Amino acid sequence: MTAIQPQPFTDDSDSVDADTTPTNAVKGHSRIPWRFLGGRALFYLFTLWAAITINFFLPRMMKGDAVTQYLARNRNVTPEAAEALRSLLGLDTDKTLLQQYVEYLGLLLRGDLGVSLLHGLRPVTEVISQSLPWTLGLVGFATLISFAIGTIGGAIVGWRRGSKLDALIPITTFLSTIPYFWLGLLAIALFSVNLGWFPIGKAYGVGISPELSFEFIGQVIHHGTLPALTIVIASLGGWMLGMRNMMLTVLDEDYVMVAQAKGMPNNRVLWRYAARNAVLPQIQSFALSIGFIVGGTIVMEVVFSYPGLGKLLLDATNAKDYALMQGVFLVITLSVLLANVLADIAYAFLDPRTRQTED
Amino acid sequence: MSLLEFDAVTKIYSVRGAGQIKALDDVSFTLKSGHTTGLVGQSGSGKSTIAKILTQLETPTTGEVRLGGKPIPRRGKGLRSYRQQLRMVFQDPFASLNPYHSIGYHIQRPLQLDNVVPKEQLDDEVRRLLGRVHLEPNTVIDRRPHELSGGQRQRVAIARALASRPQFLVADEPVSMLDVSIRLGVLNLLADLQREEGLGVLYITHDLATARHFSDEIIVLNQGRVVERGAADDVILRPQNPYTQRLRAASPDPDRHFGSATGILGGTQ
Amino acid sequence: MGESLLSVRDFSVVYDVDPPVEAVTNVNIDLRRGEILGLAGESGCGKTTLAYGVQRLLKAPAVITSGSVVFHDSSGEDIEINALDPEDMRRFRWDKISMVFQGAMNSLNPVATIGSQLEDVFEVHRPTHTKAQRRTAVGELLEIVKVGAQRYRSFPHELSGGMRQRVMIAMALALRPQLMVMDEPTTALDVLVQREILRQISALRHEFGFSVIFITHDLPLLLEISDRIAIMRDGEIVELDTAEQIWTNPQDDYTKSLLASFPRLTGEKGLVSR
């Protein structure tokens, strides 16, 4: 027998208690996941650069330019004036693409997005800043409401699986499959035309101008209710189904059983144990869907003649107003990125496991 | 007699953030045909790294594996023929069988791939192999894995491993996921096959008791190093290394607990 | 013969599927105060269903079809568990009977610190405790199981498997229950860690005097740690006797075959055909 006698390692007696070795450092443990956030920040900076660059090239690859369109509509413009317009819009052909790109980046840094042909040569930033609050307010609010109701509702439906509440799932799913423009028109026909509860469109009534008064705010709410409601109805089903399915998975986890064995009240098991874990994937899909939400706003704003970004983009595209289109695209891209950053931060704080990027 | 040599193998993994981890440190052993070697260790001891290197899923950082004195080719025909000589039986018999294929297909595949028998003898050979593992060919050949019990599935996995007529078999915790009452049956089957086919077996386990009964020789692995090796009874009954002694003291042993070996089990057979 | 702590009478559980499956059939157990009762059997024998059924933790389609479970509280009161209303049942759980589950990996909520999960128990069952009292109690518990109070803010994934199982034992100990039900508490752990945890359970039992129902398929382990052992097969208890009797003089054929399926570490060879 060749028993190999205690080798020159001395850690035999204690370190074999793999049990007492933490799998990952508790030492120097910071509550804020800097490393994780840093990595994400780099990723987002790159995405931002890519988006800005694509935004520069896209209109230049399209046929026909805005000035030609503008000239077609306004006959009494001299060739010199047309040339000046081109130069103003950054479309002068005597500069190389690289020069144009550098110039574009420089202007962007200074917050100069050019001027809009469609809106009497007003700065694009000014035009956008008039529309942005409407979209952000209405769509943002409606989306958050829908997410909250869908997630909370999905958690409850999942928790009480097999009960009558299950019927909510096919109903909300059905509502979300109706084409949005059809849903919007239906809502207008029913609530505005027939019942007369809500105005037909626009953000506020004729003969009133934006100001901080009860009357104006009341008008905004009155006008916004119907479009917001349709957005909630159309998107609720997805959130509810997603959360409910995730709940069913989580409810089979051991820690839910342990919580019940611990004598935790049902409410505590539902929210602190089950829903708290089930909501994590929900937050990720929320971030992913922001882009679609912004895209979907075009239809809503057209149906309800709402003065937001979507309508602005549609008009700009029809008129080949590149500067305005670029501006709107940029704002959309930025908001999608921002929403993703926020979702990432929320996720990092809600799920301690993501804080370890070394694994 | 054929030899599979595992010679002075060190395996180092680089782990981001944690530096380098020595999974194996200068480990040597030899598998001989007709001989069973037990490899005992706890999780993280390097057992599975040895299995991965033997099956060429990983390559050693230093040291080498030789079959019949020749290093294992890295690719091509040489590697195929090496893999034909050494087969694995895994822990989870369900995960290692494809749920979409019949039992017959599972056995037939390696026979075809390695051209073990002529085409017209395929069916007979499948039946012969199923018989070798004490499964009734007619009742199992057309079934799918989920229609069999855990023990039957593991028998199928063993038959499949034997199909290419290997000289060596690596059995990685082959019974730890099975119900206790059928574990012994599967282990005894492996022991019979080992003897009758003259296989060289590497039995990887954390369980000292089965290692003792099932192996000729036992190697004890701790944190990537061999801390003790010797004849099975010597290592388990008279361990010299402190680590082996602690392992033994920690393993349940009713004989020691209740004094001597009495009762119906004492010295039967 | 000690006094009785838990009396299970004619207890049956059926899985109400088509066709119905009898998971537990007419089980009778008298658990004594302070004893370790081993419950042995193979997968699907009903041992876990029985344990969960006693705490009324079974989910549909499992249905308790008959039987009574009486808990003889240290106050002298006899509690008929099946007759408790849901709110009383909730209060009863963990306070009188706590559990340690298999797979410590998943027993802890991955997104909450272990401290908060321990504190939960006091928050719900001892609502009069102040926050400071709860914190102290949790710190003490973590020290008792040798995890260390400084781990209060750790998340489950930051601990090894053995550590997590110690946390679960601390949690089970929190309210000083009279009975702990342990379902394969050490199965997934390495043998050295397993032995360490068993020693700890044994030491805690001496200190706090609770009874243990220890469920496992590992009969050799049970023989070492149990006072009495119940052998279960197909939902029935086929034999119940002291560990020594089970080892030296088993009566039931199934018990014999189960004993014979474990190769012996130091005993005679002969079980493996070599």
The reported pLDDT for the residue numbered A259 is 93
Taking CA atoms, B129 is separated from A208, B119, B123, in Å, by: 90, 16, 10
Q: What Rg value do the Cα atoms of chain C yield, rounded? A: 19
Residue of chain B whose alpha carbon sits nearest to that of C199: B250
Q: Which residues in chain A come in under a pLDDT of 50?
A: 1-30, 357-359
Chain A residues in contact with B226 (beta carbon < 8 A): 4
To the nearest whole number, what is the mean pLDDT of chain C? 90
Residues C54 and C6 sit within 8 Å (Cβ to Cβ): yes
* CA atoms of A187 and A227, how far apart (whole Å): 9
DSSP A205: -
Cβ–Cβ below 8 Å for A265 and C160: no
Residue of chain B whose alpha carbon sits nearest to that of C258: B181
The reported pLDDT for the residue numbered A275 is 94
More confident residue, B68 or B116: B68
Partner-chain residue, chosen from A4, A9, A358, that has the shortest CB–CB distance to B229: A4
Q: What is the pLDDT of residues B237-258, one digit of tens each?
A: 999 999 999 999 999 888 888 8
More confident residue, B211 or A103: B211
C38 touches chain B (CB under 8 A): no
The reported pLDDT for the residue numbered A25 is 39
The reported pLDDT for the residue numbered A306 is 84
Residues A357 and A39 sit within 8 Å (Cβ to Cβ): yes
Partner-chain residue, chosen from A21, A25, A262, that has the shortest CB–CB distance to C160: A21
- Residues on chain A bordering chain B, Cβ-to-Cβ distance under 8 angstroms: 1-7, 9, 11-13, 15-16, 18, 358
Cβ–Cβ below 8 Å for A3 and B223: no
C227 touches chain B (CB under 8 A): no
* CA atoms of C115 and A28, how far apart (whole Å): 18
Q: What is the pLDDT of residues B1-24, one digit of tens each?
A: 689 999 999 999 887 666 788 899
Please report where in the chains the tokens 């039957």 appear, as a residue: B152
* Residue to substitute from A17, A19, A257, A267, interface C, most C β-carbons within 10 A: A19
The reported pLDDT for the residue numbered A93 is 62
How distant is the Cα of C256 from the closest Cα of chain A, in angstroms? 34
Mean pLDDT calculated for residue range C3-21: 91
Helix (H) or strand (E) holding A308, with range, is none
A&C contacts, CB < 8 Å: 114
Q: What is the pLDDT of residues C118-137, one digit of tens each?
A: 999 999 999 999 999 999 99
Q: Which residues of A201-236 are buried (b: 16+ CB within 10 A; e: fewer)?
A: bebbeeeeeeeeeeeeeebbeebbbbbbbbbbbbbb
| pLDDT higher than threshold 70 for residue C156 | yes
Which pLDDT band, with edges at 50, 70 and 90, does B36 fall under?
very high
Residue of chain A whose alpha carbon sits nearest to that of B223: A16
How distant is the Cα of C271 from the closest Cα of chain B, in angstroms? 8
The reported pLDDT for the residue numbered A73 is 67
Percent of chain B's residues with pLDDT above 90: 41
More confident residue, A178 or B235: B235
The reported pLDDT for the residue numbered A69 is 66
B231 touches chain C (CB under 8 A): no
The reported pLDDT for the residue numbered B20 is 83
Residue of chain B whose alpha carbon sits nearest to that of C274: B191
DSSP A178: S
More confident residue, A83 or B112: B112
Longest dimension (CA), chain A: 108
* CA atoms of C69 and A66, how far apart (whole Å): 85
Which of B29, B31, B25, B30 has its CA nearest to residue B62? B25
- Cα A265 from chain centre: 36
Cβ–Cβ below 8 Å for B181 and C257: yes
Cβ–Cβ below 8 Å for C158 and A257: no
Cβ–Cβ below 8 Å for B241 and A358: no
The reported pLDDT for the residue numbered A356 is 57
- Cα C75 from chain centre: 22
CA dihedral B254, B260, B263, B265 (to 10 degrees): 70
Which of B131, B121, B205, B120 has its CA nearest to residue B162? B131
The reported pLDDT for the residue numbered C211 is 95
| pLDDT higher than threshold 60 for residue C32 | yes
The reported pLDDT for the residue numbered A84 is 74
Please report where in the chains the tokens 């209109």 appear, as a residue: A59
- Alpha-helical segments (H) within B27-149: 47-54, 76-85, 103-113, 122-132, 137-140
More confident residue, C161 or C90: C90
How distant is the Cα of C70 from the closest Cα of chain B, in angstroms? 33
| pLDDT higher than threshold 60 for residue B80 | yes
| pLDDT higher than threshold 50 for residue C90 | yes
| pLDDT higher than threshold 70 for residue B99 | yes
Q: What is the pLDDT of residues A190-215, one digit of tens each?
A: 888 888 788 777 777 766 777 777 77
φ, ψ for residue C155 (rounded to 5)? -95, 155
